[in-house]
């Protein structure tokens, strides 16, 4: 049970980072239906422009394929990542494939069609596969193809697609986590062996990758190393909104793993002697047009000299900016790496469109000068593009 809930923590592509619950499955279907209605309207407008002669045939076909690509990406992003046992297969059958088929059904707009929606979905994926054979250097395309095959339960082909992406982007932590997930499913829903090795490679590149942490914990739990499982999952807590359903589900799993390991419940980490690092974050007006209100903002502190892993992390959204912040030891990603353990730190803020804690090209960011770990009035301006 616990392996499923934690492994379902992050959506592929997107990162992501939510724990799957039945009610949220229904919310996901509603979001997909809304998104599909938008794509359907776009397709109608495109067809109307083509009929009016305002769009050339070549431009029409290219735009149509782009809409299909975005549709596949949005819907496959609703799919839960790796889990264990028959539950994962049940979820793919009961949620992912019907959702994708439902989306394509409404997107195509042929309620009276005799061809089953599943066949239409498969046809779209095969068109994407053909496109990738013609454009093999498109890393994002290979990622999308890998996710799409995963949604359809075609895990061997998903592994092959992710493998092609990794040949071209070997240091992408999120891609490595997705690849490990597909490998696990292809080898009988087990993370033991190569999948776990790939997960560790992802964590070496990005120790705060949510999906990699979820999978690493699941792998440890599967071999009954409950102490290690709890440690991995504890590192996820600062990366999700406090008091959210995600945080509650992760905390519940941490407690279960600690109990099985014979450990006492983890104490709540308090700020050292009430100390906190305080300041404000704002977005440069010059970059305001490059961010959307719902984009994720990570505010963090890292050692001036030391490991790159954040000592404290706070999550907000662009619509919250300018925002005040207070970072303290309760936001540590690991017990041995707390804000109070480093006398001098650098405060940073990064806007991530994908919502991934892993820095990506195109992210917007800003850094402070080195400050004391309990400084007040620290000002961070997000004014650079990665």
- Domain membership of residue 353 (yes or no) is yes
Q: How many residues does the chain have?
A: 386
Identify the pLDDT of residue 149: 87
Please report how the helices 139-151 and 155-168 are oriented relative to each other, as an axis angle in degrees rounded to 10.
Answer: 160
For 16-52, how does the pLDDT look when each residue is reduced to its tens digit (9 = 90+)?
333 333 333 333 444 444 444 455 555 656 666 666 6
Identify the pLDDT of residue 110: 43
Is the domain of 283 the same as that of 173? no
Identify the pLDDT of residue 52: 65
Answer with the one of 206, 238, 260 that is the final residue of a domain. 260
For 96-136, how does the pLDDT look when each residue is reduced to its tens digit (9 = 90+)?
444 444 433 333 344 444 344 556 678 878 888 888 899 89
More confident site: 280 or 84: 280
Q: How confident is the model at residue 346 (pLDDT cuts 50, 70, 90)?
A: very high
Are 97 and 120 a contacting pair, CB within 8 Å? no
Please report how the helices 57-76 and 22-52 are oriented relative to each other, as an axis angle in degrees rounded to 10.
Answer: 180
Is the domain of 17 the same as that of 71? yes
Provide the CATH number for the domain around residue 96: 1.25.40.10
Does 5 have pLDDT greater than 50?
Answer: no
Is the domain of 313 the same as that of 193? no
Place of tokens 């986590």: 177
Place of tokens 């050692």: 303
Are 83 and 189 a contacting pair, CB within 8 Å? yes
- Domain membership of residue 214 (yes or no) is yes
Residue 168 exposure: Cα atoms within 13 Å on the Cβ side: 13
- Domain membership of residue 267 (yes or no) is no
Is the domain of 60 the same as that of 132? yes
Is the domain of 374 the same as that of 233? no
Domain count, the chain: 2
Is the domain of 236 the same as that of 342? no
Calculate the alpha carbon distances from 9 to 67, 147, 210, 253, 286 in Å.
Answer: 28, 16, 8, 11, 35
Is the domain of 253 the same as that of 331? no
* Percentage of residues of the chain with pLDDT beyond 70: 64
Is the domain of 317 the same as that of 246? no
For 268-278, how does the pLDDT look when each residue is reduced to its tens digit (9 = 90+)?
555 555 578 99
More confident site: 307 or 364: 364
- Can you tell me whether residue 314 is helix, strand or coil? strand
Q: How confident is the model at residue 64 (pLDDT cuts 50, 70, 90)?
A: low
| Rounded average pLDDT over 206-233 | 90
| Rounded average pLDDT over 53-76 | 62
Identify the pLDDT of residue 268: 58
- Can you tell me whether residue 56 is helix, strand or coil? coil
Tokens encoding 370 = 């080195």
Identify the pLDDT of residue 355: 76
Q: How far apart are CA 71 and CA 40, in angstroms?
A: 10
| Rounded average pLDDT over 177-197 | 92
Identify the pLDDT of residue 207: 85
Q: Are strands 378-382 and 384-385 parallel, antiparallel or unpaired?
A: unpaired
Is the domain of 245 the same as that of 302? no
DSSP 269: P
More confident site: 363 or 93: 363
- Domain membership of residue 335 (yes or no) is yes
Is the domain of 30 the same as that of 97? yes
Closest CA to 179 of 207, 230, 142: 142
* Residues of the domain holding 340: 272-385
Answer with the one of 232, 260, 288 that is the final residue of a domain. 260
For the ranges 143-152, 208-217, 320-329, the lowest mean pLDDT is seen at 143-152
- Domain membership of residue 129 (yes or no) is yes
Is the domain of 153 the same as that of 15? yes
Contacts of 276 (CB under 8 A, 6+ apart): 326, 327, 328, 374
Q: How far apart are CA 78 and CA 75, in angstroms?
A: 5
Identify the pLDDT of residue 337: 74
- Domain membership of residue 158 (yes or no) is yes
Greatest distance between any 2 Cα atoms in the chain: 72
Does 206 have pLDDT greater than 90?
Answer: no
Identify the pLDDT of residue 72: 58
Is the domain of 104 the same as that of 238? yes
Could you please report the per-residue DSSP string of 116-177? -HHHHHHHHHHHHHHHHHH-TT-HHHHHHHHHHHHHTT-HHHHHHHHHHHHHH-TT-HHHHH
Does 306 have pLDDT greater than 90?
Answer: no
Answer with the one of 260, 286, 321 that is the final residue of a domain. 260
Identify the pLDDT of residue 16: 33
More confident site: 15 or 125: 125
* Percentage of residues of the chain with pLDDT beyond 90: 35
- Domain membership of residue 266 (yes or no) is no
Mean pLDDT for the chain overall: 75
Q: How confident is the model at residue 74 (pLDDT cuts 50, 70, 90)?
A: low
| Rounded average pLDDT over 257-268 | 82
Q: How far apart are CA 74 and CA 32, in angstroms?
A: 7
- Domain membership of residue 295 (yes or no) is yes
């Amino acid at each position: 049970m616990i392996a499923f809930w934690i492994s379902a923590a992050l959506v592929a592509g997107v990162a992501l980072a939510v724990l799957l619950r039945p009610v949220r499955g229904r919310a996901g279907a509603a979001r997909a239906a809304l998104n599909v209605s938008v794509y359907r309207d776009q397709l109608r407008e495109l067809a109307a422009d083509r009929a009016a002669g305002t769009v050339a045939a070549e431009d029409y076909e290219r735009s149509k394929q782009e809409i299909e690509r975005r549709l596949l990406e949005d819907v496959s992003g609703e799919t839960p990542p790796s889990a264990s046992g028959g539950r994962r297969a049940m979820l793919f059958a009961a949620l992912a494939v019907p959702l994708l088929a439902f989306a394509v059904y409404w997107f195509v707009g042929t309620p009276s069609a005799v061809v089953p929606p599943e066949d239409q979905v498969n046809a779209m994926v095969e068109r994407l596969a053909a496109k990738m054979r013609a454009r093999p250097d498109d890393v994002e395309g290979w990622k999308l193809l890998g996710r799409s095959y995963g949604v359809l339960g075609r895990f061997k082909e998903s592994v092959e697609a992710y493998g092609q992406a990794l040949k071209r982007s070997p240091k992408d932590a999120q891609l490595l986590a997705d690849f490990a997930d597909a490998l696990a499913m292809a080898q009988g829903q087990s993370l033991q062996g190569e999948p776990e090795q790939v997960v560790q490679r992802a964590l070496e590149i990005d120790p705060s990758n949510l999906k990699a942490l979820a999978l690493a914990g699941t792998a440890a739990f599967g071999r009954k190393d409950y102490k290690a499982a709890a440690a991995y999952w504890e590192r996820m807590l600062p990366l999700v909104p406090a008091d959210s359903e995600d945080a509650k589900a992760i905390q519940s799993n941490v407690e279960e793993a600690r109990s099985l390991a014979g450990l006492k419940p983890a104490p709540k980490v308090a700020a050292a002697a009430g100390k906190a690092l305080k300041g404000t974050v704002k977005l440069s007006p010059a970059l305001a047009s490059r961010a959307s209100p719902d984009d994720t903002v990570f505010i963090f502190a890292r050692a001036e000299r030391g490991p790159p892993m954040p000592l404290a992390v706070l999550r907000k959204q662009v619509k919250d900016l300018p925002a005040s912040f207070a970072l303290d030891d309760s936001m540590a990603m690991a017990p041995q790496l707390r804000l109070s353990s480093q006398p001098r730190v650098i405060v940073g803020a990064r806007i991530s469109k994908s919502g991934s804690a892993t820095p990506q090209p195109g992210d917007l960011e800003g850094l402070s000068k080195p400050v004391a770990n309990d400084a007040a009035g620290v000002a961070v301006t997000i004014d650079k593009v990665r």
